[in-house]
Amino acid sequence: MDLQILKERDTPLLSRKRYTFEMVFSGATPSRLVIRDEIAKKVKSEPVLTIIKHVYNKYGSEKAKVIAHVYSKKEDMERLEDKVLVDKHKKPEPKKEE
């Protein structure tokens, strides 16, 4: 997977940066967790503080536009982002057998 930063906007009042990336991949579109980890490496931040807002992909294309928010504090991220979106970025817990 190859990521290229198209835009970067700092929003100090919300304690976050908004990034727009162009992502080139092969095969199926990667999951949010894989994209989040790659973006965190690219911008040198913590994966826990990174939220993928949108992944725009055209059918049959191996390119996508990704919009991500990178927060400086976890408290601000949980306060500003929807709980459903934050839950999408958590690793699934293994199911317990009874």
DSSP β-bridge partners for residue 18: 9, 69
Output phi, psi for 34, to 5 deg: -70, -45
54-84 tens-digit pLDDT: 999 988 889 999 999 999 999 999 899 888 8
Ordered by where they begin, the domains of the chain are 2-88 (3.30.70.330)
Stretch 7-19: mean pLDDT, rounded?
94
In angstroms, rounded to a whole number, what is the distance separating the alpha carbons of residues 98 and 3? 43
Alpha-carbon gap, residue 35 to 60, rounded angstroms: 19
Amino acid in position 18: R
